Structures are given as C-alpha cells and as structure tokens.
Amino acid sequence: MEFCAKEIKKSLIQWTREWFDKNGKGCNAVIGISGGKDSSVCAALCVEALGKERVIGVLMPNGVQSDIADSRQLVEHLGIENVTINIADAVIAVHTQLKEADIEVSEQTEINLPPRIRMSVLYAVSQSMNGRVINTCNLSEDWVGYSTRYGDSAGDVSLLGKLTVQEVKALGHELGLPKNLVDKTPSDGLCGSTDEQKLGFTYAVLDRYIREGICEDVSIRQRIDTLHRQNKFKLELIPTFEP
C-alpha cells in the first residue's frame, strides 16, 4: 500500500493526542532535540497534537556540538520551550571513574555512554517538568540495531517506530519543517562517518527491503539480515525467568 504522508500525519496526531489523554493527561512531551529529521518530526507532531505550550525540547551537546545550530533552528521554528544541558561533565566523570577502577574503556562504551546519559537527562527533565519522554527512533534504524539500548531506544511512547526513514522524511515535508533538517545526512557525530557509510548500504535500499522484500545485492541483503537477527533483542522485553 502506498504511503500517504497526509493521512499518516493526521492519524499520528490523533493517536498521540489520545495516548497522552490516557497515559499522561495534561503532561508535557519531552523530546531530545538532535537537529535531525526524527526528533524534528516528533516535536512537530507533538506540537500539532498537544499545542506548543506542552512540548519541551532538550538540547544535549557533549561538549561542543558542531551542528547545534540545527537544534536551535528547530525549537525556534516550532516556538517550543527548550533547555540546553551539556552532558560533557557527566561523560568525563564516568570515564574517570572507570579508569580509576582499572577498567579499560572499550569503543562500544565510548559510543553508547553519551546516548545513555542523554536518556537519563531526558527522564530527569521529564520527571521535574510533568512530562512524558518521546522516543525518536524509526523503523529502519531499529531494524538493523542502529540505536543504543536504554539510550535513544528508550522512552515512554514511540511515534516513528513503525515508519521507515523515507516515510519519516515524507512526514517532515508534510509537516512543513525546514528542508535542511528533514533531508540532513544522518550521523552519530562520533567518528566522522555517516550512518550509511558505517552500515555499508543506504537507507533507501534498506527501506525497500523492509517494505517490499527486494534487495538485488545479495551481500547487502545478507548483511541486513545478519544485523537484524543480531540486534532484534534490543526491541524485546528483557528476558524474565518464569519459576
């Protein structure tokens, strides 16, 4: 079935409004603002669903963030309340304590520590400002495990978890968001490479495989399947022993 951004936008706004009525009537939507398409679309949807006075954007640079202007552009465009909380001191403090405990910090720790600290900050803001945390992950990233468990993969409600990158972009344009934010090249800002360069394939190829099951390149198809299988646990509840 062809994706209709106009209809999906309408349905998502209504769904979001109903979710808040049931799970946080009168609460604010608290969103980590990265300046990319996902957080921009989530923030815009919440503004439409709840009104801008109930949406709080949280900017969380780790020291100096080269594209922080994009985050500021988004909150100014939407006219939402926003706060900036720099996580650099927290990241450094954890690194220091790990080293003092003679624990060698791995590359995975380097990558995943900042998003986990950011999620702690989001919940601190949320619980201090009568909020609910909005998860901003999309289906494409989740499909291949391109998220941090208990970091950006966490939240109280997910608006984009069943939508691919191409669909999120279409929503962003339908919402009238600035083109430079919607079409911004995804990157974690850590190693100088884009998401697609690190994955080894484009989101367009991944999205087509997810929606249509078509991927002509056998090696890419196998890589996608492997990543999906290895990272599927991130989307599942923690295993619990049944006595």
Q: How far apart are CA 150 and CA 234, in angstroms?
A: 9
User: Mapping DSSP to helix (H, G, I), strand (E, B) and coil, where does residue 66 land?
Assistant: coil
pLDDT band at 195 (very low <50, low <70, confident <90, very high): confident
Once rounded to an integer, what is the mean pLDDT over residues 101-128? Answer: 96
Whichever domain contains 26, its CATH number is 3.40.50.620
Q: Is the pLDDT of residue 194 over 90?
A: no
| Residue 177 placed within a domain | yes
Cα 68 from chain centroid? 16
| Residue 242 placed within a domain | no
Q: Is the pLDDT of residue 20 over 90?
A: yes
| pLDDT for residue 100 | 97
pLDDT band at 34 (very low <50, low <70, confident <90, very high): very high
Q: How far apart are CA 55 and CA 9, in angstroms?
A: 17
| Residue 241 placed within a domain | no
| Residue 240 placed within a domain | no
Domain count for the chain: 1
pLDDT band at 188 (very low <50, low <70, confident <90, very high): low
Q: Is the pLDDT of residue 193 over 80?
A: no
| Residue 243 placed within a domain | no
Q: Is the pLDDT of residue 238 over 80?
A: yes
Q: Which residue has the tokens 């978890």?
A: 161
| Residue 183 placed within a domain | yes
| Residue 154 placed within a domain | yes
Range of the domain at 219: 5-235
Average of per-residue pLDDT values in the chain: 95
Q: Is the pLDDT of residue 191 over 60?
A: no
Which has more confidence, 197 or 12? 12
| Residue 163 placed within a domain | yes
pLDDT band at 240 (very low <50, low <70, confident <90, very high): very high
Between 87-91, 173-177, 190-194, 199-203, the lowest mean confidence (pLDDT) is in 190-194
| pLDDT for residue 185 | 85
Q: Is the pLDDT of residue 187 over 80?
A: no
Q: Is the pLDDT of residue 11 over 70?
A: yes
DSSP 165-215: HHHHHHHHHHTT--HHHHTPPP--SSSS--HHHHHTS-HHHHHHHHHH---
